[in-house]
Amino acid sequence: MTTVILAEKPDQAKKFASALSGEVLKNQGGYFEFKSDIFGETVVTWAIGHLVGLALPNEYESTPNKKGFDYANIPFLPESQNMKYKVIEGKEKQFKAVKGQLEKASTIIIATDPDREGENIAYNIFKLCKSSIFNKPMKRLWINSLTTKELLRGFQNLRDAVETEPFFDEANARQMADYLVGMNYSQLFTLKLRGKGLTNTYSLGRLQTPVNTLVVENDLSISNFKSENYQQYICKTKEKERQVIFKNSIEYFSEEEFLNDTKKYQLDTASKGIITSKIVEEKQQLSPKLFNLGGIQSFANNKWKFPTKKTDEIIQSLYQKEYLSYPRTDSEYITNNEFDYLLNNLEDYKRVLGITVETTNLTANKNYVNDGKVLEHYALIPTDKIPNLSSLSDDEKKVYEVVVTRTLLMFSQPYIYESTKLVLDVNGLEFKTTGNRPINLGWKVIANKIDDSKQEEVIELPDFQENEQISIKIEQLKKQTKPPTRLTEARLVGKGGLMEKMNLGTQATRSNTVETLVKRGYIKIEATKITPTATGYLLWDLTKNRDLLIGKPEMTAKWESVLVKIGKREYTKIKFMENIHKFLNETVVRLKDDPFDSDYFEKSINQNLIEIGDYLLEDKGALYDVRPKDGSGDFKLWKKFSGKLLTQKNLTDLLTKGKTSSKVKGLIKKNKEKYEAVIFFDKDTKKLGFEKKNN
């Protein structure tokens, strides 16, 4: 009687085996075998992420042209039950080991990542095993950290696999729908665009295409924005040795209305005003919510300019090292169990941060601790395993310290301050101002020490009284309306971002979507700001002008809602896939005869061209194809010269002036010695070199 445990990755399998056996075991050819107190005869084997995926269209007998894209191949719509699965290339050896152990098992424990994709990884492997494995008892390990203590607790409290199987149905429906949408649209658009003279393969997807729409429409809103001038009135006072600025809320876009009010309220001569209202209140502000995945992504993008994908990798690494809880969580709450262990480790967390502050809020607060709001995973928090910070990379240390800090804030007192609101009357026109005075900094003591969070601006007002007359000076402000803000990864992917608001994707898939769009050349990210490329505009134009659902964020949001219902057993996978088939069949048939006209073709063709002086450069990876505008003959320039990557300025100087404007540092000789020199471009030979010395 052998219990076989299926992990998602090799390093997780090692931790499982070590926790259950109490020792470090040797790999026995894709699995560990040992006796454990909990299960007796035990085998731990592992996937390598996805071992099994969906087969390509050319592997289906029904595909007419198996050698390439062809209109005859679409619509490509195999029924869900007839979709083919295959072992991913390069992973055959490990799949064979996993399959062998699963088929010999008496009991199977699914111990892949505790999320929808973890379910999908496991059940896709099962699909290529003997069907008899579905008759075996199956359990599910559902944990929130990889510490030995949490692993043993999880193995002693296994769930029935049937409880989480609906998550597989949801993930599998998402996988099949994304596959069919991608295979049909990508093949169709690529064929159409190649017919227009473009040469690339063009990928479209259920999630990536509507996100591309958001980026393009944000760019359009900025480029089409026309600034408007307007005016506002403020008044200043220097009563009681402190200047106070009162603001009127009216924005005058009409010069006539501005002049009318100036005359009506005698603002050009006003020198006195009366305080008509004074409201003083003591207020409190609780510390920020605990981090979920979107929260830490936003924080890291805003503070350190980390791409969201980089943040994902860092918190995954810290999870694997057992220092942080499960990373792909959408919850900002913990249960009382987590609160208790955090409380017991408070001093250790302070020590690792190097701070000595009081944490006096030692009872669970429903703003952070709520058993009813933790459905699958709790918030991102530190585990009870404390790292030596010197063992972490600089970026890991930054992220770990911020997560610990955010957690510690929960144990601090609220920030308490006195708020004062004043209303000033100037000849019947209202002006207002607000001040605040800290009473107890509370959690901000820790926040200000560690994460440099935006500090509250302190504005202490003079002790004005109601009905008090004060001397003022009226000032006129000339302003302009501001264009919409350009999207950043934080505003698109992070907590409260556009994708979350529009229900596009999940916490776990959003950053991957943005990375995919960058890799495919549809968007660019520079200094955190996201802009569309010419190809991004082209795909947006083609989907928008044909009213295609694939380009509409609201349609993808509806699909996402249905997928969530599948995971709750409120909708069936079969019905969802029937609708996907119908939608794709109707759309592909209609688009086959569409001429695919667009104003963005030429820009897309020239997207990768860089214009420098009399030359056009096409980026070809390690080198540039250089085309002289006079047609005198193309040539190639390597991006590196003498071991040094040439900058854009270097290229500009070389192609316009014939040499770099100064010595280029970091050039490398054959003996690895570094040196610096002026680089020259020979227009006759079309080669780079150094100045020839005259004999």
Q: Which of 379, 374, 380, 376 is nearest to 315 (CA)?
A: 380
Give the C-alpha separation, 47 to 9, whole Å: 5
Instruction: For residue 146, give both structure tokens.
Output: 């990889």
Q: Which of 260, 63, 54 is nearest to 175 (CA)?
A: 54
Query: Quick one: which H or E segment has residue 40?
Result: strand 40-46
- What's the confidence (pLDDT) of residue 457? 72
pLDDT range class, residue 361, cuts 50, 70, 90 = confident
Instruction: For residue 344, give both structure tokens.
Output: 């017991």
Are 177 and 199 within 8 A, CB to CB?
A: no
The backbone torsions φ and ψ at residue 241, rounded to the nearest 5 degrees and listed phi first, read: 65, 20
CATH class of 3-51+88-157: alpha beta
Q: Please report, rounded to a whole number, the percentage of residues in the chain having pLDDT higher than 70.
A: 98
The mean pLDDT value for 2-16 works out to 97
Asked if residue 202 has pLDDT above 70, the reply is yes
* Same topology between domain 3-51+88-157 and domain 229-284+419-438+456-480: no
Are 325 and 384 within 8 A, CB to CB?
A: no
Report the DSSP pairing between strands 229-237 and 244-247: antiparallel
229-284+419-438+456-480: CATH topology is: Topoisomerase I; domain 3 (2.70.20)
Amino acid identity of 389? L
Q: Is the dihedral of CA 187, 191, 193, 197 positive or negative?
A: positive
Q: Which of 527, 608, 603, 530 is nearest to 216 (CA)?
A: 530
Whole-angstrom distance between the N-terminal and C-terminal Cα of the chain? 88
Tokens 């694939």, located at residue: 550
- What's the confidence (pLDDT) of residue 695? 44
Give the C-alpha separation, 359 to 413, whole Å: 7
pLDDT range class, residue 456, cuts 50, 70, 90 = low
The mean pLDDT value for 356-374 works out to 90
The mean pLDDT value for 342-362 works out to 91
* Non-local CB neighbours of 453 within 8 Å, separated by 6+ positions: 288, 444, 447
Q: Which tens digits make up the pLDDT trace of 149-171?
A: 999 999 999 999 999 999 999 99
Instruction: For residue 190, give both structure tokens.
Output: 């690529």
Asked if residue 514 has pLDDT above 70, the reply is yes
Instruction: For residue 319, give both structure tokens.
Output: 């999870």
- What's the confidence (pLDDT) of residue 692? 63
Asked if residue 43 has pLDDT above 50, the reply is yes
Instruction: For residue 112, give both structure tokens.
Output: 């892949």
Residues facing residue 234 across a β-bridge: 247, 475
Superfamily of domain 175-223+489-591: Topoisomerase I, domain 2 (1.10.460.10)
The backbone torsions φ and ψ at residue 223, rounded to the nearest 5 degrees and listed phi first, read: -70, -30
Asked if residue 475 has pLDDT above 80, the reply is yes
Amino acid identity of 639? K
Are 350 and 360 within 8 A, CB to CB?
A: no
pTM over 0.95: no
Instruction: For residue 236, give both structure tokens.
Output: 């200043």
Render the burial of 333-372: b for 16+ CB within 10 Å, e for the rest: bbbeebbeebeebeeebbebbeeeeebebeebeeebbbee
The mean pLDDT value for 211-229 works out to 97
Q: Does domain 293-409 have CATH number 3.30.2130.10?
A: no
- What's the confidence (pLDDT) of residue 358? 82
Q: Please report, rounded to a whole number, the percentage of residues in the chain having pLDDT higher than 90.
A: 83
List the 272-285 sheet strands across, edge first: 469-471, 272-285, 415-426, 429-440, 244-247, 229-237, 473-480
Query: Quick one: which H or E segment has residue 289?
Result: none
Are 438 and 419 within 8 A, CB to CB?
A: no
- What's the confidence (pLDDT) of residue 182? 95
- What's the confidence (pLDDT) of residue 533? 92
Amino acid identity of 391? S
Q: Output 565 or 625, whichever has higher pLDDT.
A: 565
* Non-local CB neighbours of 657 within 8 Å, separated by 6+ positions: none
Give the C-alpha separation, 605 to 627, whole Å: 15
The mean pLDDT value for 302-312 works out to 94
Asked if residue 131 has pLDDT above 70, the reply is yes
Asked if residue 434 has pLDDT above 70, the reply is yes
Are 512 and 200 within 8 A, CB to CB?
A: no
DSSP count for the chain of H helices, then E strands: 21, 27
All structural domains of the chain with their residue ranges: 3-51+88-157, 175-223+489-591, 229-284+419-438+456-480, 293-409, 608-689
Give the C-alpha separation, 338 to 231, whole Å: 54
Mean pLDDT score across all residues of the chain: 93
* Helix boundaries (H) for 144-226: 148-156, 161-194, 208-223
Q: Which tens digits make up the pLDDT trace of 52-81?
A: 999 999 999 999 999 999 999 999 999 999
Q: What is the 3-state secondary structure (H, E, C) of 493-559?
A: CCCCCHHHHCCCCCCCCHHHHHHHHHHCCCEEEECCEEEECHHHHHHHHHHHCCCCHHHCHHHHHHH
Give the C-alpha separation, 303 to 402, whole Å: 11
Give the C-alpha separation, 115 to 140, whole Å: 11
Instruction: For residue 306, give both structure tokens.
Output: 């980390």
pLDDT range class, residue 620, cuts 50, 70, 90 = confident
Number of other residues whose CB lies within 10 A of the CB of residue 546: 14
Report the DSSP pairing between strands 415-426 and 40-46: unpaired
Q: Which of 381, 388, 386 is nearest to 403 (CA)?
A: 381
